Every structure is written in structure tokens, then in C-alpha cells.
Structure 1
Amino acid sequence: MTDGFDADDGFLTADAIPADRDLDASLRPSSLAEFVGQPKVREQLELVLHAARGRGRTPDHILLSGPPGLGKTSLAMIIASEMGSAIRITSGPAIERAGDLAAMLSNLVEGDVLFIDEIHRIARPAEEMLYMAMEDFRVDVVVGKGPGATSIPLEIAPFTLVGATTRSGALTGPLRDRFGFTAHMEFYEAAELVRVLVRSAQILDIDIDADAAAEVAGRSRGTPRIANRLLRRVRDYAEVRGDGRVDVAAARAALAVYDVDELGLDRLDRAVLGALVRGFGGGPVGVSTLAVAVGEEPATVEEVCEPFLVRAGMIARTPRGRIATGAAWNHLGLQAPPDAIDQVHGVRAREETPFD
């Protein structure tokens, strides 16, 4: 705790935080024209939706994949808005039985959009029921058990399923193949995040200058959800310790309070790098050992920290374990060993060609 500011260890996670969901909803774009970034996906979606409207048909089922926080839920809502349809929202883990899905499908009106977040986590019996619903717009409901069980066909209104997943590889082949259009969401460039922040600042009535927006965007890990979260914390700092205006000095001071450095690394990221470099000489070291060294669960290190550190070129994953690159040593202000960069390739080569 620092003068009323509490740095949250999960501050830079891209997962939605319950306390922020209402604010996030107010910042969501309502049309493809308002949606910032993902130009290829927007162009493709515009063609799919415009063609469906021209034919007077429901659009093909749509799968949106990519890391959390990039706008998959926003795009699902935009799809419904562009088609003038209602949207029903649920998540894969919430659909535990086929009956849950059948009840949901039977309540759909023609043209409705059914959005299933984290669709790769849907229960297998429900997934198998979804196959027939997506292809034939009907489901078979089994009544009773054993030899006396009967199957009752249930017609459902034509609808569009929009599935979102952060792990497209976890989807089964039969489910993936039933989507007519698949879009992969990419991380945002800093310039795109500046546009996101400027729009959010206008909605939240935050006075922020261009340099401050660029400062926040550069530390947001290429993720709009994180950028908007940082913007709100920077606003808090400016209102409590400044005159309410967010300039670059206020942005830097606020982000320093919240332990977000110039590359977007937080306390846990730097702890992982520090343990890897100082504790294990740069590696290689297993993720479980690394997690013990920083006092976290292995899943936290592997799913929260590692993706960004690998993308930032500071950690390399090899068959023998994690290795710190020269960029990691330099970021911590330490002298990298002469073989810090080549060491990664050397370990990979030795592991992949063990008989040489």
C-alpha cells in the first residue's frame, strides 16, 4: 500500500475483472465503424454480414479466436447490432449438460445471435448436440433412460452462433469445421491503442494529451482491455495527486505507482525474470521450479507471465526449460553473458538432434 494506492498483482492480466465489467461495457463500440484495430477481421466480417443482409438470411456461424482482451465479445455484440438481432450470451463452462443447451436453443427467435464465450470448454454431450443445431437447426431431445428412452426431434429457429475461444487448438475438429467463418484476433499496435485510449477518454470525460495516451498505450501489452484499465488508474492518480489532467508526467508517475514499467512488465513479470537471471544464471529451468522461486503457482507463471515475456523476446521456451535472452538481462540492468542470445539456439539444436 502506498498512500492509498494498492498495486494489484493481477493488474496487467488481460482477463476481465468483475469490478471493471460495467465500465468495460460502456466503452464497447456499437458498430464495425467504431471498432478500432483488427482491419482484416473487420473487412471480412463486413463482407459476411452485408452479404447475409442482402440475401435476407442469417449469417454463417462465426468463430473468433485469439488472446483475451482483444475485443471478441465486442465483435459478437456488433454482429448482432449490425444484423438488427438480439444476442444471447453464455459461456462454455456454464453449459454442463445437453439439456441446458437445448433449453437455450429452443428460446431463440429467428435471426438471433447466440454468443458462447470460451466455447472450447463446453461439455462434450452439449457439443455433440450443437453439431446438429448448427447444421440442420434442430436437436434431438432424449426423454427417459434405458430401453424405454425416446428421442424427440425439436425444430429451432435459424440462428447465428458466434463462438469465442482463447485456445483454438483445444476445439475439436467437428466443431471447428461447422463454423462458416473463422477470424483470428491479433495484438494491437501502439498507434491503434492510442486511438482506443482517445475514444475511451472521451467517453469517460478524461482530459488526456497525446503524449500521455502514447505512454499508456506503450505499456498495455498490445491489449485494449489492459489499456482501458491503465487509463482508469492513471485518471485516479491525476485526480488525487494532480489537477485532474493526464499529461505524460502524470501518466509515468501513476504507472510507476502501479509497478508497470516502460515495456509493460509488472511486479510478477520482473520477479520471474529476476529469478531466472539471478537465481538460475539465465536457465534453462523448468516452469515449476521457476514458479516456486517467485512464490506463485506454475499455471500463473505459464499462463499469465510467460506469453508476454516470450512475445517480448525476453524468455525462450526450450525442451530443457525456460531461458533468459540477452534482452532480459539488459532490461534488468545486468550484463548479459557473451552466449546469452546464441545459448537459446544452442540448447534447441542439442535437444532436437540428440544423436549428432
Structure 2
Amino acid sequence: MTDRADDEPAYSEHDDTSYDATARVVDPGGDDEERRIESALRPRRLIDFPGQPRVRDQLGLVLEAAKRRGTPPDHVLLSGPPGLGKTTLAMIVATELEQPIRITSGPAIQHAGDLAAVLSSLAEGEVLFLDEIHRMARPAEEMLYLAMEDFRVDVIVGKGPGATAIPLELPPFTVVGATTRAGLLPAPLRDRFGFTGHLDYYTADDLTTILTRNATLLGVEATPQGISEIAGRSRGTPRIANRLLRRVRDFAQVHGKGVVDHPAAMSALSLFDVDDRGLDRLDRGVLEALCRRFGGGPVGLSTLAVAVGEEADTVETVAEPYLVREGYMLRTPRGRVAAPLAWTHLGLTPPAGGGTSAQPLPFEEGEGRFTP
């Protein structure tokens, strides 16, 4: 991790958990090197944000118009798979608006009082970032509706027939919500966001740009061939690309010449069980179970998760999106089915007609394996 430049703004954290407008990266403190490095690699301005051109241009228009009017912009909802830059964009929003940012998450707000405490301490124009907003408790969600629309909350004093609702006026502020599962957001909450941006997986060229920049920030000497190899195995996700870059750097420093070149990338990624298509241990375990144990399926999610020794949620949210997107696996009404590409990737021969006639569907199916 390279030292901060002298002319780069320092990042200051206040006791009320809000962050100075000049600080766009939250320093978590302590000895967590991985999180400090992730923070240091985040772009600080919208113009420096690589990839996602549609979302970047749309969000830039919303922010520029708000600045010209001199008012806070509409609330912003960012959705998409993990690791694509939702948190980074939230911090960029605060940077562009030159406002502080306050960070919390849905799981941390389990009572309406928790949200009321946060909202009542917001300053005018401040940005409130709610990560994993779909996991917020329902009473807090209902309070957030009123706060986002009318900038006030009703504080209940007392209990029973003598309870009194005291309206508390709030200064105008901007909520930036992030979610990996937009479908779980209730419609009343989703409709209160004036701008909704969906982040897609990155192209290999975008990841190459990101890795080249980050290698420079980390002070790592890298060749185009080494960067390209890492980008091709990063599953279209910058977070994964940055992690693999650091692991290849470590390998090059210990076993190589200190240069992230193609041989170092190949050897390091093989050591860390990342194959040439970006599949890791869990991905291959899922495909192995589908093809070898269940003859290509169909098999239910719970059964498949038990076969690989993982929780069903882990298989569904970590491995399955990439496998389905890349055509290794299908989701059908009767269960998960291995696609022909899965058999080919594992070097296996699919059974005659096995796993090729099922049609993928976008909804969740029942559990358990069924035979025709």
C-alpha cells in the first residue's frame, strides 16, 4: 500500500460516525490491511469511476443538476451483485456534492428508534448511505418512508392510550441505498428513490483499466500480459480483481521477481484455485456435485448445498449467479441442471439428452431432486 500524497485530502472520522466532506474513503482503522487497501483503491470522483458508463452518466446528470439548483438531489438507489462499486459510488456522491457522508447498514437498524437517532443527527445536505437496505426492519422502513418524502419523523412518547406522536422536522438530506437483492425491497420504499441505477458485471477491458491503475497505486510493477490474465479470471467483478492482484503480487514477491507478469499470474491463480474461466473451489464443487453425483440434475438447492458442504444461501448468492450467467447451470421448475458447458469444463461426457432439454426460468423453484 502506497503512502498518501501530500496534496491528497486526509480522511477524518467524527464521533457521530459522520465523515468530513473532503474524505471520500472511510479508514476503518486498526490493523485490517485488506480493508485499508480496498479503501485506498477507491476512485474519489465520478469521472475517475471506470466502467458502468450508463449509470455513471445518469448519476452525473442528477448530481450536476442538483448542484446548479443548490438543493440536495433525489434519493439514489444502487442495485447489483456484490463487489461492483455500490459503496464507492455512494462515497463519490458525497464527494461531488461536497457534503459529509454517514454510513450504516440495514442489519444495523432493527428498530425505528435506531433510525430516528441517525436521522435526527443529520445535517442539512448530508448523505446517508444505507448498505443492504433490503435487510432493514419493517418498522424502520415505515419511518424511512416519511423521512425521505416529507423530511420528518414522528417520535412516539409514552405507551398505550396516553401515547403521543411528536413530529420532528429534519433538514433536507439525500439517502443513498445499496442492495444486492432489489426484488426484496417493498414497493413503497423503492418508489421513493428518484434515481435507480443497476450495476452490471464489468468487461475484461474495464477490469484491465482498473487493475492497471490499482497496480500503480500499490506500487506494483506489472506487465500487460499479467494484468490481462488476472482480469480474465475476475468474474467481471472489481473486488475480486483487486483481491487477485494482491495475491499475485504476494506470489511474485515470494516466488518470483517481484513483477506481476504472466507466469506469476498463472502460478499464483493456480495456487489459489482460480481456473482459467474464473471458477473457484465452490463453483467447481457445485458443478462436480451436479454432474458426478446427480447425473446433471435436476436437483434442489438445499440438496445441492448439502452435497458441497455449504449453506443454501451461500450457493445461491455466491456461486449460482456467475454459473448461470456464464451458461454452466440452468434454473428450472424442478431444480438446478448442469448445462453442456459444465460437462465440457470438467472434462466429462454428458449423458445422452441429459441436462440439455430443461428451460431456464427466472424464479425460485421447489427443493429436492426429482426424477422423470
| Structure 1 length-normalised TM | 0.90
Match of 1:276 in 2: 290
* 2:287 aligned with 1:247: no
Task: Name 2:66's counterpart in structure 1.
Answer: 52
Measure the CA separation in 2 of the matches of 1:89 and 1:155. 21
Matches within 5 A, 1:27-42: 27-42=41-56
Separation of aligned partners in 1, 2:313 and 2:360: 27
Counterpart in the other structure of 1:171: 185
1:103 maps to 117
Matched, 1:260 2:274: yes
Spell out the pairing of 1:174-323 with structure 2 (5 A cutoff).
Answer: 174-323=188-337
Residue aligned with 1:200, SS: helix
Alignment match of 1:146 (pick from 140, 143, 160): 160
CA distance in 2, matches of 1:129, 1:19: 37
| Separation of aligned partners in 1, 2:59 and 2:360 | 44
Tell me the residue number matched to 2:357.
343
Separation of aligned partners in 2, 1:106 and 1:185 = 31
Q: Percent identity?
A: 64
Distance in 1 separating the partners of 2:140 and 2:306: 38
Q: Which whole-Å CA distance do the structure 2 matches of 1:243 and 1:225 have between them?
A: 25
CA-CA distance at 1:295 after TM superposition: 2.1
State the distance in 1 between where 2:300 and 2:360 align.
Answer: 17
Determine the C-alpha separation between the residues in 2 that align with 1:96 and 1:298: 24
Question: Which residue identity does 1:177 align to in structure 2?
Answer: D
Q: CA deviation at 1:101?
A: 1.0
Deviates more, 1:160-169 or 1:297-306: 297-306
- Quote the residue 2:6 is aligned against: none
Matched position secondary structure for 1:78: helix
Gaps of 5+ in 1: 1-17, 352-356
**Cα distance, 1:297 vs structure 2:** 2.3
Larger RCO (alpha carbons 8 Å, 6+ apart): 1
Letter of the 1:82 partner, please give it. E
Aligned partner of 1:4 in structure 2 is none
SS at match of 1:261: coil
Alpha-carbon displacement from aligned partner over 1:129-157 (angstroms, at most 9, x marks no partner)? 11111111111101111111111111111
**Cα offset, 1:346, TM superposition:** 10
CA distance in 2, matches of 1:99, 1:341: 51
The CA deviation at 1:68 is 0.7
The number of equivalent residue pairs is 332
Flag the 1:58–1:346 CA change in 2: closer, same or farther, 3 A. Answer: closer
In 1, are the aligned partners of 2:125 and 2:173 still within 8 Å (CA)? yes
Greater CA deviation, 166-175 or 287-296?
A: 287-296
Correspondence 1:22 to 2:36: yes
**What is the DSSP-based 3-state SS (H/G/I as helix, E as strand, rest coil) of the residue aligned with 2:103?**
strand
CA displacement, residues 5-50 of structure 1 (integer Å, 9 cap, x when unaligned): xxxxxxxxxxxxx762221111110000110000000100110011
TM-score, structure 2 normalization? 0.86
Partner SS state of residue 344, structure 1: coil
Tell which deviates more after alignment, 19-28 or 188-197: 19-28
Question: What is the alpha-carbon distance in structure 2 between the residues aligned to residue 278 and residue 99 of structure 1?
Answer: 52
**Aligned position for 2:93:** 79
Moved beyond 3 Å, runs of 4+: 345-348
1:33 counterpart SS class:
helix
CA-CA distance at 1:340 after TM superposition = 4.4
CA distance in structure 2 between the aligned counterparts of 1:59 and 1:140, rounded to whole angstroms:
24
135, 143, 150: which one aligns with 1:129: 143
Deviation (angstroms), 1:339: 2.5
d(CA) in 2 for partners of 1:221, 1:19: 23
Taking the aligned partners of 2:332 and 2:158, their CA distance within structure 1 comes to: 52
Q: What CA distance in whole angstroms lies between the structure 2 residues aligned with 1:207 and 1:162?
A: 36
- Give, in angstroms, the shift of residue 278 of structure 1: 1.3
- Return closer, same or farther for 1:19/1:122 CA change in 2, 3 Å cut-off: farther
More helix by share: 1
Secondary structure of residue in 2 paired with 1:198: helix
Give the superposed CA RMSD: 1.7
Residues 347, 196 of structure 1: alpha-carbon distance in 2 compared, 3 angstrom cutoff: closer
Report the AA paired with residue 192 of structure 2. R
Task: Name the CA shift for 1:304/1:247 in 2 (closer, same or farther; >3 Å).
Answer: same
- Report what 1:7 is aligned to: none
Distance 2:206 2:85 in 1: 13
User: Aligned partner of 1:327: which letter?
Assistant: L
**How far apart are the structure 1 equivalents of 2:336 and 2:117?**
47
Deviation of 1:338 after TM superposition, in Å, equals: 4.3
